Amino acid sequence: MLIRTPVPGDTPARLALARAATPYTMASADLIDRIDARSAPGDRRLTLLAEAGGEVIGVGTAATDRFLAPGASTANVIVAPGHRGRGYGAALWARLAAHLDGAGAAVVHAATDHDAGVAFAGRRGFAVAAETRVSAVDPREVAEPAVPASLALVPLADPAAMRGAYALHRLTDLPSVVEYRDLSFADWRARATNAGVLDLDCSLVVFEDGEPIALTMINISGTRGFNSLAATRADHRGRGLAGLVKAASLRAAAAKGVTLVATYNDADNAPMIAVNTRLGYRPYATRRELRRG
């Protein structure tokens, strides 16, 4: 067994591992390389590979992430299905845990779609903190929405929309197990755009009388997308704005050649699950959010 850091030629193997663990992932070779290149020193990011017989059969990543609350961190371990139960994941985790301990991490967040992953994490002190519904849709099958004349759907490429998205993010009660710092606009924008996959044309903010009242944000890599955020200001809920802006965003993504868009919803968030169901999203997996510390 060899545990080592990755080199550029490892990207295809890392992509294959990501897709084996989460078939709906928007990961691509380009995205993996960009994330590696854009990792900041403050993230204290470590990526390790497990190799057997010259083949990369496992990958693990841990980071403190400068945008997380003090003491918080994230970790992820993936082992190819045919190599599980042989100690590769344990070896990766031991090195990652030591790295996080050295970085002063008091809390570690992880996630998995698999019962075996929950059991693996449980043996290492993690507990399930929340359940998330994973669903996906082909955006080409979503109908073009009718936008009332009183509303303007503005892409995040417009600086006013980016500011509006930040304001809505601060106002809305978005469920999250992971704790973040109280981010300034500059830090929030940096976090949203850091990986280079936030699509500024397909991510939209709804304005009415000059005020931002709803938004949706979508990441795109090749033909895959991920709807990372959708929110409506509390005093404008019940008007169908979430469905309208998400439909418009999905249609814009389809026009760019996207054929699959996934999203996460808190299992208890019945209103947003209902919105997504009407748009054609169908359940794909149940993701367990894990926490240690």
pLDDT: which is higher, 181 or 208 = 208
- Structural domains of the chain ordered from first start: 2-125 (3.40.630.30), 137-284 (3.40.630.30)
| Nearest alpha carbon to residue 78 among 8, 22, 3, 6 | 22
Q: Contact 245/146 with Cβ under 8 angstroms?
A: no
Paired residues of 125 in beta bridges: none
Winning range, highest mean pLDDT, from 62-66, 172-176, 222-226: 222-226
pLDDT digits (tens, 9 = 90+) for 110-127: 999 999 999 999 999 999
Model confidence at 12: pLDDT above 90: yes
The two structure tokens encoding residue 276: 């997504």
Mean pLDDT of the chain: 93
Which residue pairs, CB below 8 angstroms and at least 24 apart, start in 211-215?
212/161, 212/164, 212/165, 212/167, 212/168, 213/168, 213/241, 214/168, 214/241, 214/242, 214/244, 214/245, 215/164, 215/165, 215/168, 215/169, 215/245
Whether the predicted pLDDT of 142 surpasses 70: yes
Q: For the segment 192-224, what is each residue's pLDDT rounded down to a tens digit?
A: 887 788 999 999 999 999 999 999 999 999 999
Q: Output the pLDDT for position 43.
A: 78
Q: Report how far residue 45's alpha carbon sits from residue 96's, in angstroms, rounded to the nearest whole number.
A: 10
User: What is the model's pTM?
Assistant: 0.90
292 or 41: whose pLDDT is higher? Answer: 292
Whole-number pLDDT of residue 267: 86
pLDDT of residue 262: 96
Q: Assess whether pLDDT exceeds 70 at residue 173.
A: no
Please name which of 273, 215, 271 lies closest in space to residue 248, comparing C-alpha atoms.
Answer: 215
pLDDT at residue 155 tops 70:
yes
The two beta strands, 127-137 and 282-292, are antiparallel
pLDDT of 106 > 90? The answer is yes
Which of 131-145, 163-177, 216-230 has the weakest average pLDDT?
163-177
User: What whole-number percentage of the chain has pLDDT above 90?
Assistant: 80
Contact call for residues 194 and 137 (beta carbons, < 8 A)? no
236-260 residue pLDDT tens: 999 999 999 999 999 999 999 999 9
Q: Which of 60-64, 169-173, 234-238 has the lowest mean pLDDT?
A: 169-173
Confidence of residue 34 (pLDDT cuts 50, 70, 90): confident
Judge whether 253 and 88 are in contact, CB under 8 Å: no
**Where residue 66 falls among pLDDT bands split at 50, 70, 90?**
confident
What is the pLDDT at residue 154? 98
Which pLDDT band holds residue 175 (cuts at 50, 70, 90)? Answer: low
